[in-house]
Structure 1
Amino acid sequence: MLVMLCAFMFSVHILVIDHFSPKVDCVKMSCIQFFVCAVISTVFMFALETPDFASLWSAKTAILYSGILSSGVGYTLQIIGQQGNDPTVSSLILSLESVFSMISGWIVLHEKFSPKEAIGSLLIFAAIILSQLPKEIFQKICGKGRRNLNV
C-alpha cells in the first residue's frame, strides 16, 4: 500500500512540475519545494520521533548529503530536465531510477546483486523500451495477434 501511495504521489509530482515549470523559474520552484519539504519533515520529525541534538549532530554528514545532494540537487535537475518534455516520457525515464542505482552501485561500490535483481532490472528496462516503440515496430516484435492495439 505504501509503494502504491508513493507511486501515486510521484506521478502527481511529475504532473505538477509539468504544469508549473514553463510558467516559473525552475531553480526558484526547486528552492520553494526544498523549503516546504524541510518544514514538513521537521514537523513530522518532532511529532513522530524524539530527536536530540547529539543524535542530529552525529548524523550531520548523512543529513546534509541527503538533504542537499539527493533532494536539493536531484529535484532541481529533475525540474530543469522535465521542463518542456512530455510528462509520460518523463515518468518513464524517472522509473529507470532503480536500474541506474543498481548499475551505479555495481560500478562505483563494486556491489554484487542476485540474478533476481538483474532480471528485474532488465524487465524494467525492456518494458520502458517497448513502451516507446512505434506501433508498427511493436507489432513486428510482439506479433499482430491483437487487432486494436493502442500503444
Structure 2
Amino acid sequence: MSRLLANTLLLLAALFWGSAFVAQATAMAHLGPLTFTGVRFLIAAAAVLPFALAEGRRTPERPLTVGMGLRFTGLGLVFFAAITLQQVGLLTTTVTNAGFLTGIYVVLTPLLALVVFRERPHAVAWPASLVTLGGIWLLSGGDLEALGTGDLLMLVCAVFWALHVGLIGGLAATSARPLALSCWQFAVVGTAALLPGLLLEPVTLSAVWAAAPELFYTSLISGGLAFTLQAIGQRWTRAADAAILLSSEALFAALFGALLLGERLDAAGLAGCLLIFLAIIAVQLVPMISWNRWRLRPNRV
C-alpha cells in the first residue's frame, strides 16, 4: 500500500470520528443517552465478533484467560465512563465544543501517565497544557463561568479518554488479541449502558427505529470501520503523519457541526479551537521530532 493511500485511510478515520458527534447529538431527539450508547455498542460488538473469532482461530497459542477477561472488563468500564459522559454532555453543549474539549485527552494522556503509570512525559506536555487551558478560556467566550454543564462533562470525559488511551496500548500488546479486546470492551460498554437505560429512560421500538440511521453510523462506521482504517493505515505510514491526520477529528467535528447543525463560533471561539488543536499536535509531534534529531545526530569522538 502506498503512503498516500495509507494517509487517506487515516484521514477517513478522523472524518468518521469527527462527524459522529453530529449523529450522537441528533440521536437524542429519540433516545436517551444511556439507551443510545447501549444499543450502539452492542451492535458494534456484534459486528466485530466474527473478526474476533477469526483472530482467535489464527492465534490458538494466545487463548483468552480469566485474568485477561477481567482486564478487558476494567478497560471497558473506563470506556463506558468516557463515552457516557460524552453522550450526556452533548445534551447541553454544541458539537463543536464537544469535539475540541474531548480532544484534550491527547494533552492529558502524558500527564496521567506521570501520575498513574509513573511514566515521565516529554517536556512539551507542560506548556501544551497551559495552551489548552487558554484555548478553553477563549472557547467559552473569555469567561470560564460561561462554560456550561455539558462542557464540564466533556472535560471529565477527556480524563477518562486519556486513561483509556494509557491502558489500551499495554493490554493490546500483552494479549496479542486486539480484535477480541475491541469486541469485549464494546460488549461491556453496551451492557453497562443499556441496563440502566431501560430502567431510567423511556424506550420504545419506534424511538429505536427513528434513531436507526444514527445508530448505524456510530456503531458500524465511526466504530468498527474507523478503527479498522486506523489499524491498517498506521502500518504503512509514518507516525508523524498519523498523529496529524487523526488529530484532525476535532476539526471535522467543528466542520460537520457548522454544515449540518448550523453551529457557529465567534473570533474568540475560533482562536480557542486553534490553540487546542495546536496543543494536540505539539504533544504528538514534538517528541517524535526530538527523537529523530537525536537519532540522526552524527557521533562525535
TM normalised by structure 2 equals 0.39
- 1:68 maps to 77
**2:34 aligned with 1:27:** yes
- The structure 1 segments of at least 4 consecutive aligned residues displaced by more than 3 Å after TM superposition are 51-54, 116-119, 121-124, 126-131, 133-139
Post-superposition shift, 1:14? 0.8
Question: What count of residue pairs does the alignment treat as equivalent?
Answer: 137
Show structure 2 runs of 5+ residues with no match. 1-6, 142-265, 272-301
- d(CA) in 1 for partners of 2:35, 2:113: 31
- d(CA) in 2 for partners of 1:13, 1:138: 21
| Equivalent of 2:14 in 7, 21, 26 | 7
Map 1:73-84 → 2, pairs under 5 A: 73-84=81-92
Change in CA separation of 1:91 and 1:115 when aligned onto 2, cut-off 3 Å: same
SS in 2 for 1:110: coil
- d(CA) in 1 for partners of 2:97, 2:19: 14
**2:123 aligned with 1:105:** no
After superposition, give the CA deviation of every residue in 1:22-41 in whole Å (9 maximum; x if it has no partner): 43111110110120121122
RMSD: 3.1
Percentage of identical aligned residues? 14
- 1:90 maps to 98
Change in CA separation of 1:116 and 1:135 when aligned onto 2, cut-off 3 Å: closer
- Checking the alignment, whether the CA contact within 8 Å between 2:111 and 2:125 is kept in structure 1 is no
- d(CA) in 2 for partners of 1:137, 1:33: 31
Post-superposition shift, 1:97? 1.1
**2:267 aligned with 1:135:** yes
SS in 1 for 2:111: helix
- 2:68 maps to 59
Aligned AA (1:135): A
After superposition, give the CA deviation of every residue in 1:46-78 in whole Å (9 maximum; x if it has no partner): 3455254962125212221222332x3321221
Post-superposition shift, 1:118? 4.6
- d(CA) in 1 for partners of 2:45, 2:70: 16
Post-superposition shift, 1:101? 2.1
- Checking the alignment, whether the CA contact within 8 Å between 2:113 and 2:119 is kept in structure 1 is yes
- d(CA) in 2 for partners of 1:19, 1:92: 18
- d(CA) in 2 for partners of 1:25, 1:137: 29
SS in 2 for 1:59: helix
Change in CA separation of 1:110 and 1:32 when aligned onto 2, cut-off 3 Å: same
- Checking the alignment, whether the CA contact within 8 Å between 1:17 and 1:79 is kept in structure 2 is yes
Change in CA separation of 1:79 and 1:53 when aligned onto 2, cut-off 3 Å: farther
| Equivalent of 1:46 in 43, 53, 73 | 53
Which structure's relative contact order is higher, taking Cα pairs within 8 Å and 6+ residues apart?
A: 2
Aligned AA (2:69): K
Aligned AA (1:15): V
